[in-house]
Amino acid sequence: MHPAIANSFEPPFDVYARAWEWVFRSEAFISWLEEGRTWQLRCVGPPGSGKTTLSALVVEQLRKEFRDANIAVASIFIIDDLGGREEAFLEEFLESVLKQLSESAADSDFSCCICSSYAEACKRNEKFALRIEMLRKAIYTRLTTLNRAFLIVDDFDRCSAEAAAFLEDELARLQRHSVKIMVTSRVPYHRVANQFLCEVELDENEIDLEHGGNLSVYWQCERCSGLWMSEEDEYNICNQCKLRGYTCRTCGPDARLFEPYTHVELPVLLSNRDMECFLKWNLEGEHGDLGLQSANQHKPPPSALGRALREERVAENIVQAVVFESEGNIAIARTRLDEIHVAQTIQETEPIPDRLSRNRIAMFQAGISRINEQADGRRELGLTAISAAGSESGGTSFRELKEQLRTIVRKRKSDGASDLTLYEALHAAAGYLVVDNTIEQRVTPYHTSFFLFVNENYDERLFLKGMDLGYARPSRSKTLQF
């Protein structure tokens, strides 16, 4: 198998699965599971938001739920950056999908015969295009024998631009063959500034809270949508209203409703409530009963710190402080937990104001090193974009960012920023920059502490890019890193 992909991922032993139950209850996930819904579910979250753990939990849940229903679940975890061998990656991706879909197939299955022919073609070193077509034919044939099929692809951003283009094409082909596809990534596949609201006017006795929000899943009239001249003409119907029997205001009962999109984005960040439950579960699993009433059923005898926390009744305060600091990011929360777990006194659990801990600095520097290992043009783009967006607390608009990058390009007489797209900038930054859902498209560091890491020059590589952009300050002394 290609060294950059794996068929499975084993979550860490201390994963708190309940933190992800909200995903399985979300309208987007429930709708995606339904037969006839053909769009891809794109789970998008910044570094450390738990996407890979979520993918593993989804695979486990699907296999448990559909184990006796002639329904296959395939999963691909991209575990390393793809800097080359794109054709080999695509071929082994498809081969892995085929093998997983065919695990329960009989030897007489026609797709198995094609597999044998494919193996012979590999021995004869047939052309790449022929081998790919044989794999596709075997997969599509196998799909005809299944009631349903699911494919989970984790960490799509690790694909190079060429590999991503190959993979998007294959996913679209599988989607047309009714495969349920879920993809996780740091960077959104397609984001628009529009908010989609339900246009149905409900009776007073039918109004509920779900009706008024921004919709991720909605319906339109197939006939009327082709006649709309502007966004003001659009008539969207939410899932709840469709289930109540509401339909197109023009076509009435004859309307043919459809979902006017091929992808639905589900943001992956924990709510304050879920983060709080995770923190309580983790702390009491390490330090014993702290009076937090967590769901942890395996509390050890109280540690020295645990006894102090319980006596002083400050455990709840620590939990709430970490909830606020984490901003829904589980990896950020874990860096604080690691510090708390080694503390001997309550005072040692308190972070130093306006200073980043060593483990968080190391985590951010590992991310910058990953960006630094990219090809020259993408490396320059990623580091410069992060430095520019991290110069101000509110970030910068994409238009301003693009102009700054263009200035650097002209200075160095190189190519790369004149036709820069937002996706290219975010992808080069490896998800460490995020964009809001507005027309201005404001680009900011993904977390407050990462903004501090960039703005206070904890990393020399970013500091040098800041000098290029003309607003660098002296680099922070390593003696201030705690």
Cα 455 to Cα 149, 332, 458: the distances in Å are 46, 18, 8
- Specify the pLDDT at position 481: 46
pTM of the model: 0.90
Cα 299 to Cα 93, 293, 294, 421: the distances in Å are 42, 11, 10, 50
What confidence tens digit (pLDDT) does each residue in 382-410 have?
Answer: 999 999 999 888 888 888 888 888 776 55
Axis crossing angle, helix 376-389 with helix 358-372, rounded to the nearest 10: 140
CB atoms < 10 A from the CB of 381, how many?
Answer: 24
Report d(CA 277, CA 267) in Å as an integer.
Answer: 19
> Is the pLDDT confidence value at 27 over 80?
yes
Handedness of CA 178, 180, 185, 191 (dihedral sign): positive
Report d(CA 183, CA 170) in Å as an integer.
Answer: 13
What confidence tens digit (pLDDT) does each residue in 416-447 have?
Answer: 455 778 888 899 999 999 988 777 889 999 99
Banded pLDDT at 210 (limits 50, 70, 90) = low
> Is the pLDDT confidence value at 313 over 80?
yes
Are 224 and 251 in contact by the 8 Å Cβ rule? The answer is yes
Give me the helices (H) in 102-244, please: 110-123, 128-144, 161-176, 222-225, 239-244
Report d(CA 91, CA 85) in Å as an integer.
Answer: 10
- Measured at the alpha carbon of residue 238, what is the angle toward residues 235 and 243, in degrees to the nearest 5? 120
Across the chain, mean pLDDT equals 87
User: Amino acid identity of 332?
Assistant: I
Closest CA to 286 of 357, 336, 326: 336
Choice among 114-128, 162-176, 225-239, 278-292 with the minimum mean pLDDT? 114-128
Choice among 110-124, 354-368, 458-472 with the minimum mean pLDDT? 110-124
Task: Compare 415 and 445 and report the one with higher pLDDT.
Answer: 445
Q: In what order do the strands lie in the sheet with 396-397?
A: 396-397, 442-445, 433-435
> Is the pLDDT confidence value at 291 over 90?
yes
Task: Compare 416 and 166 and report the one with higher pLDDT.
Answer: 166
HSE-up (13 A, CA, CB side) for residue 20: 21
